[in-house]
A = this chain, B = another copy of it.
């Protein structure tokens, strides 16, 4: 039996509450030899008290050495091996700009390109037109509809857009239409399996209509499509774990991934950690599981802003008492991946993990939440997909396996 099939079999529904507090890109490396990371240097009395009472460890989001994107990294934290549950790039792109991708929908990434009179691509990025230039062209595309499905187009940025197709019997097992080179026309959308044949035909009809609509554009007179895919139909939190899940996040991408696993997205105003904790408090009675996502740790890491990342961590710590007053049974504090300040990018380094539990915790000797303390922590270095089983266990939500 694959391990991921085990947990749902052991599911036990009891009234306990789990909080998964994610500081995006939390993990880091020292900015200089002998130095501390932002998390190690930050003044975090509340997190340290949780660390002292709970247990520390580290997670590997995908595999050793593999740097994850946000989508796979969140799937792993949510309990789904991202190598088993492959979510199409189109779906992630659409979710990332706040589009809905439901069961049966097909999503794909689009590029504007420049075609010559013979229909061959002469610029794969349409002269890298700006978002401002692209906006009215996106409106033209939004008007392109063909019988058999509805097409929703939204601008991502500059020459890039996302396309979500909705209708009966659609399937997204379709090859890219981007030939990856200039001097050739875009490829037709080709089905990789019988079930996607009809969808590929509809896509080709839509592309032809789109090219007609764009015919007079000087730069963006063509499109290519990449990364077709449908809703990956992930096991839903309610059935798999018996959890009513709530997502408290500011950015669309994280709301989208949460929806893929069946969480409700909580609406709230404000963007600060305190605002997010208040949002959790508002719906505390309605849910068993709270995914709270802090984005700015990652943004500061990507900006190479050491002091900024440190301050975001301290702001989370300062706001933490409001969350603790809700008395969660299990509180996990971690990141989806590392975004080291010196690298200004996501990385493969293991991610700090803090597991605090109102009861049943096996504490370790660590008393401060930081990368190297986590490396010596009692949880060890574990796959990120082990977070949910540990959370459920500490929340009393898993039956014994076997007699």
Contacts and interface: CB of A to CB of B under 8 A. Distances in A.
A313 interface: no
Nearest to A340: B360
Q: Which of A82, A390, A403 has the most CB of B within 10 A?
A: A403
A283 interface: no
Contacts of A375: 364, 378, 380
Given A3-B63, A64-B389, A393-B67, A402 B363 contact: no
A70 interface: yes
B64 A386 contact: yes
What's the dominant secondary structure at chain A's contact region?
loop
A377 B125 CA distance: 47
Interface in A1-47: 1-3, 6-7, 10, 29-30, 33
B364 A347 contact: no
A386 to B, nearest CB: 4
Given A1-B83, A346-B400, A376-B376, A360 B69 contact: no
Given A1-B86, A71-B402, A375-B378, A66 B10 contact: yes
Interface in A83-126: 83-84, 86-87, 89, 92-93, 96
A362 interface: yes
Contact of A72 (B65, B66, B402): B402
A403 B65 contact: no
A64 B371 CA distance: 21
B364 A402 contact: no
Interface in A357-403: 359-365, 371-372, 375-376, 378, 380-382, 386, 388-394, 398-403
A53 interface: yes
Contacts of A301: none
A54 B33 CA distance: 10
A400 B381 CA distance: 21
B29 A361 contact: yes
A343 interface: yes
Contacts of A96: 403
Interface string A321-363: 0000000000000000000101101111110000000011111
Nearest to A67: B400
A29 B362 contact: yes
A81 to B, nearest CB: 9
A230 interface: no
A300 interface: no
Contacts of A371: 362
B402 A83 contact: no
Contacts of A72: 401-402
Given A62-B401, A348-B393, 7 more contacts: A10-B66, A65-B394, A68-B400, A69-B401, A342-B360, A347-B393, A348-B389
10 contacts: A1-B84, A3-B63, A30-B362, A66-B389, A66-B401, A92-B403, A342-B359, A348-B389, A348-B390, A349-B362
